[in-house]
Amino acid sequence: MSASLVDILAPRLAPLDLDHRLRLVREVIPGRIIFTTSFGVEDQFITHSIFTQGLDIDVVTIDTGRLFPETYALWERTEARYSHHIRAACPQAAATETLVAEQGINGFYKSIDARKACCHARKVEPLGRLLDGVSGWVTGLRADQSDARAKVEIIAFDAGYRTLKINPVIDYTRDAIVAATEEFSVPVNELHAKGFLSIGCAPCTRAIAPGESERAGRWWWEQDQKKECGLHVTADGVLKRGPAPQETL
């Protein structure tokens, strides 16, 4: 009987911890699997699990060219800690040059459309290259990061990128992840201790104030509460990208 990998894996993944979730994903899903890290605390937790278990999951990142110095320093510390290099995809030079020529170096502050154009050139297009031909995409999405992300499943089919999308810490709390990083001496971004709970590009991220949501510091000058750059959403801002094709397990 034919059934989708999503339907079969979702109930099997749900009761497991992170290590066993990643192990099951690697055992069941054929082909290349990648994990895209932005070096946030949840991403560091996942990176630790992948590297310490020796899983055949590629850990990759997007270097937008506008990251915090602290993020680059953490990148280096992470490679040293686990003796692995983390491959990066960078924006296309021609697209970046055109973007800056058209809107100026910090033109993204002028409008939501300008900001989304910058995110597309520096993040979304490089992600498309990273995901080309992969069978599975592991992310660090958590349900408690935002109201929109609360609706995300542990595994789904991303019709936009034509790949299975696995969110192995979707039901973890930030506090649980922080506790795990402390227990296992996982390196984390120094900015977290300064109130930067969700860290992206330096010009687009600020520390949050007490009582603010975790992602309030992202694109803080905008009123849109969805706070997404386009990596995980469709053009209309929807996080879910369609039904899974039918596969035989």
Question: Within a 10 A sphere around the Cβ of 99, how many other Cβ atoms?
Answer: 21
**Among 65-69, 75-79, 91-95, 223-227, where is mean pLDDT lowest?**
223-227
- When pLDDT is averaged across residues 224-238 and rounded to a whole number, the result is 53
Q: Give the pTM.
A: 0.89
Determine the 3-state secondary structure of 241 from DSSP. coil
Question: Within a 10 A sphere around the Cβ of 183, how many other Cβ atoms?
Answer: 8
Q: What is the pLDDT of residues 103-150, one digit of tens each?
A: 999 999 999 999 999 999 999 999 999 999 999 999 999 998 767 778
pLDDT at 233: 47
Residue 235, C-beta contacts closer than 8 angstroms, at least 6 positions apart: none
Q: Which two tokens stand for residue 117?
A: 């154009």
pLDDT at 2: 32
Q: Which two tokens stand for residue 169?
A: 């810490």
Q: Round the average pLDDT of the chain to a whole number and report it.
A: 90
pLDDT at 230: 52
5-92+129-195 sits in which CATH class? alpha beta
**Domain map (residue ranges) of the chain:** 5-92+129-195
User: How many residues are given for the chain?
Assistant: 249
**pLDDT exceeds cutoff 70 at 249:** no
Instruction: Give the residue among 1, 20, 3 at the shortest CA–CA distance from 244.
Output: 3
- 126-161 exposure pattern, b = at least 16 Cβ within 10 A, e = fewer: bbeebbeebebbbbbbbbebbebbeebbbbbbbeeb
Provide the pairing of β-strand 155-158 with 163-166: antiparallel
Q: Which residue has the tokens 């969110």?
A: 167
d(CA 242, CA 84): 34
pLDDT at 243: 53
Determine the 3-state secondary structure of 30 from DSSP. coil
Active site residues: 229
Better-scored residue on pLDDT, 93 or 228? 93
Provide the pairing of β-strand 58-62 with 87-89: parallel
Q: What is the pLDDT of residues 21-52, one digit of tens each?
A: 999 999 999 999 999 999 999 999 999 999 99
The answer to whether 51 and 78 are in contact (CB under 8 A) is no
Question: Within a 10 A sphere around the Cβ of 88, how many other Cβ atoms?
Answer: 13
